[in-house]
């Protein structure tokens, strides 16, 4: 499991990378994201994932994140940008 975050920039906490491939379906992602939000309280959090990561999108939506933008990378892939206010 690994996590990389960027320190506060104004009132935005940007989570750069959250990987837990070998720990799926054990609530580790939910707990880790909740801990990040607890220890780095901000008015706004932002993250992104791809449309291929449907489980990640579902996790983030269950945690209160909403899609605010998407950008096509190619014909088969889009990045989905999500925020939590």
> What's the pTM?
0.71
Percent residues over pLDDT 70 in the chain: 69
pLDDT greater at residue 23 or residue 2:
23
Encoding tokens for residue 79? 């990045």
Do 68 and 84 form a contact (C-beta atoms < 8 A)? no
**What are the beta bridge partners of residue 25?**
none
Residue 47: the pLDDT is 87
- Max mean pLDDT range (1-10, 16-25, 29-38, 64-73): 64-73
């Amino acid at each position: 499991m690994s996590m990389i975050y960027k320190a506060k920039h104004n009132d935005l906490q940007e989570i750069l990378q959250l990987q837990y491939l070998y720990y799926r379906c054990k609530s580790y992602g939910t707990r880790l994201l909740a801990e990040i939000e607890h220890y780095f309280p901000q008015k706004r959090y932002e993250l992104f994932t791809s449309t291929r990561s449907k489980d990640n999108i579902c996790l983030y939506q269950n945690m209160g994140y909403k899609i605010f933008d998407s950008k096509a990378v190619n014909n088969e892939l889009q990045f989905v940008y999500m925020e939590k206010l």
